[in-house]
């Protein structure tokens, strides 16, 4: 394997976790004020998963964050605690 630095690494096994592209095309976002990124079709969110429309939140692979399941699960738990259990 060759790293971006040009360094060559020899290994018996390699794990590659690249996530996946967002699937926002059929969500009906054109009927909302939810803003998408200029390229890639990701939903713009702040550090608290708020979109540009109040009351709509996004996390996981539809946002520009790390598109891996454990990251999305953790973000979802934190968001639900904030919204439903009054934990800022």
Domain tally, the chain = 1
Label residue 75 exposed, middle or buried (CB < 10 Å: 0-12, 13-18, 19+): buried
Give the domain CATH number at 7: 3.50.50.60
Give the C-alpha separation, 21 to 5, whole Å: 25
Domain residue limits at 62: 1-88
Torsion angle of the four alpha carbons 55, 59, 64, 66, in this order, in degrees rounded to the nearest 10: 160
* pLDDT at residue 56 in the model: 96
Output the pLDDT for position 19: 66
Confidence (pLDDT) at 30:
92
Note the pTM of the prediction, 2 decimals. Answer: 0.72
Interval 56-68 mean pLDDT = 88
Opening angle at CA 6, ends 39 and 3, nearest 5: 60
- Average pLDDT in the chain: 90
Compute φ and ψ for 63, nearest 5 degrees. Answer: -110, 170
């Amino acid at each position: 394997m060759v790293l971006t630095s040009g360094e060559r690494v020899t290994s018996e096994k390699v794990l590659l976790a690249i996530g996946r592209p967002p699937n926002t095309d059929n969500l009906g976002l054109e009927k909302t004020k939810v803003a998408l990124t200029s390229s890639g079709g990701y939903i713009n969110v702040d550090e608290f998963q708020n979109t540009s429309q109040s009351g709509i939140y996004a996390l996981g692979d539809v946002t520009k964050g790390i598109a891996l399941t454990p990251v999305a699960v953790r973000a979802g738990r934190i968001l639900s605690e904030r919204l439903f259990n009054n934990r800022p």
